[in-house]
Amino acid sequence: MENRFNLIDEPWIPVAGVGRVSLGQIFTNSEYRRLAGNPVQKIAVMKLLLAIAQAAATPENEEEWRKLGSQGLSEKCTAYLRKWHGRFFLYGQKPFLQMPPISHAEKQPYGALLPEVSTGNTTVHTQSQVEKPLSNAEKALLLVTLMGFALGGKKVDNSLSLTAGYKGKTKAGKPGPAMAHMGLLHSFIYGDSLQDSLWMNLFTQQNIHSSGIFSGGIGNAPWEKMPKGEDCPVARELKTTLMGRLIPMCRFCLLDKDGVHYSEGILHLNYLDGFFDPTIAIDCSGKKNKVLWADPEKRPWRQLPALLSFVQQTKRRFECFQLYISMPRTRHTATSFAIWSGGLRVSSNAGEQYVSGSNDFVESEIRLKPEFISDTPWFNQLVLEMEHLEGIAKKLYGSILNFYKTQLSDGGAFAGNGTNQFWQLCERDFQYLIDACDDVPEAATERERLRRKFAGYVHTVYNRCCPNDTARQMDAWAKCRPNLSNYLKKEA
C-alpha cells in the first residue's frame, strides 16, 4: 500500500476538545489537556507517547528530571521524531510496528479486532456495534492498541512462526500483557496539560533500576530495532525491558485495505510470574500475586485507597509503581493533580476472550492536592469513609433482599441493581469527599453533610426498589427499611 500516511505528520490521536492530532502536534502544542477515545485507547496511546519520551530523553535521576521540565522533554521528543521520521509511516517497506513477513498469515477484518464491534454470528444490539470501514487514522489507533491490549482467542493465525523452530504458539493466542485474563486496571498521574502528564510519568534510570522489574533496563524502541520473529534476540530483549512493556508487540500485524494479517507475536511473562506493567496495582505479599481488575460494578474511584496504600507505610498491600514514582513529584511541580485509572473488563471461555453481559470500559479521574501524598491522617480518614460507604451499601443490599424475602420473592436482582444505583449516585460526590478528608475543623462539618447525603441516597434507592403501595408491601417496607443511625452519628 502507498507509503504516504506518517504518524508524525498526519492527525490520528484523539485529543479531548480538539479532535485528532499528529504525534508532532502533541509535542509542540502545550494547550492539549487530555487524550480522548475509550479508556483502552487512552492507555495504549499514553504508553506510546511515554515510549517516545523514554527513547528521547530518559534522565539519570530525579535532579535531572526536574531540570528537564515538560518543555525540555517536548523539545527532545520533537528532535527525536525528526530523526526517526522514516520509521513512522503506516505503510511501505518498513511500516510502523508491523511485520511484512506475516503477510502469509490469514487476514482478519478490522471489526473482528475491535471488542465493541459485532462480527460473525454475534447479535447486533445498537448501531455502534456495526462494523464500518476504518480510516487510516483509525487503523493507526487500532494498531497501537493491539500491541498490548489484544484479546486472547483463535482469531490469530498461529500456523505461521517467523522464528524457526519456535514452539510457543498454540491454536489460541494469549491475551495481551496489558489486558491479561479479565482486563487489568491501569493508572497514571495527570497534570494540567498532556505534556505535563508525560513529564510527570517519565521514569529515570534510577527508577527503572529500583523497580526490580526490568532486568534489561530501558531497552530500545521497537521502531528503532524491530524484531525478526517471536523469539529472536530483539524479541528476547523486549521481554525484559521497560520499552517492551510500553510497546509489547504481543501481535504481529500487517495492515491491508480490507483487514489485518494477524498472528501472535512476542509472548511476555505476566503478573503471576512477577513481571508486569508499572501502571497496574499488584499485591505481591502472598503466595500468589494479586492485581486490581477493571470492574464496571466497582468503578476505579472506589479502588483509590488500594491504589494509594503506599501513603500508609504500615499496611501496604497493593502498589502501583507508576503512582509510587510519579506522585511525590507533584509536591514540587503542581498545585493539584489527578489520578486517572481505567481499563476494559472482559470475559473468557475456553481460551476465547470477548466483551459480553456486564463487561464494559471503566475510567475515573480524581483530583488531589500534593500535600495529601504524605498526609497519613488524610489517608486514614479516606479509608474510614470508604469503609463506612461499603458498610451502608451492604446494609442497603440486605434490606432490599429482606424486603422481597418477607414477601416470599427472590430479590437478588433488585438488591444488586439497587446497590449499583447507590454507587452511581455516590460517584458524583466523591471528589467532595476526597477534599473533606483533610485534617481541618471545617472538613469535619463537610463530612457530616456528605454522610447525610449518602444516607439519603440509600433511602432513595430503597424506595425505588421496594414499593409500598399495598398494606403488605407497606409492612415489609417499614420492617426492612435500612437503619443508618450509627453511620450518621457525629464524629468524636
Helix pair 39-57, 62-83: axis angle to 10 deg:
100
Per-residue pLDDT of the chain (492 residues; tens, 9 = 90+): 567 899 999 999 999 999 999 999 999 999 999 999 999 999 999 999 999 999 999 999 999 999 999 999 999 999 999 999 999 999 999 999 999 999 999 999 998 888 877 555 566 556 566 668 899 999 999 999 999 999 999 999 999 999 998 998 988 999 999 999 999 999 999 999 999 999 999 999 999 999 889 999 999 999 999 999 999 999 999 999 999 999 999 999 999 988 999 999 999 999 999 899 999 999 988 889 999 999 998 999 999 988 888 776 556 678 899 999 999 898 877 778 999 999 999 998 888 898 888 899 999 999 998 888 776 788 889 999 999 999 999 999 999 999 999 988 899 999 999 999 999 999 999 999 999 998 888 888 999 999 999 999 999 999 999 999 999 999 999 999 999 999 998 664
Residues 67, 49: Cα–Cα separation, whole Å: 20
* Dihedral, CA of residue 370, residue 373, residue 378 and residue 384, to nearest 10: 130
Strand, coil or helix: what is 468? coil
Q: By the 8 A CB rule, do 330 and 189 touch?
A: yes
**Alpha-carbon dihedral of residues 188, 192, 193, 198, nearest 10 degrees?**
-30
Coil, strand or helix at 260: strand
The pTM (predicted TM-score) of the whole model is: 0.93
Contacts of 297 (CB under 8 A, 6+ apart): 358, 420
Contacts 24+ apart (CB under 8 A), 331-335: 331/370, 331/371, 331/373, 331/374, 332/66, 333/66, 333/191, 333/196, 333/200, 334/191, 334/192, 334/196, 334/200, 334/370, 335/369, 335/370
Cell numbers standing for residue 365: 479521574
- As a dihedral over the C-alpha atoms of residue 90, residue 93, residue 98, residue 103, rounded to 10 degrees, the angle is 120
C-beta neighbour count of 306 within 10 angstroms: 17
How big is the CA angle at 209 (ends 371 and 312), to the nearest 5 degrees?
30
CA 305-306-307 angle, 5° bins:
95
Tell how far CA 409 is from the center of its chain: 39
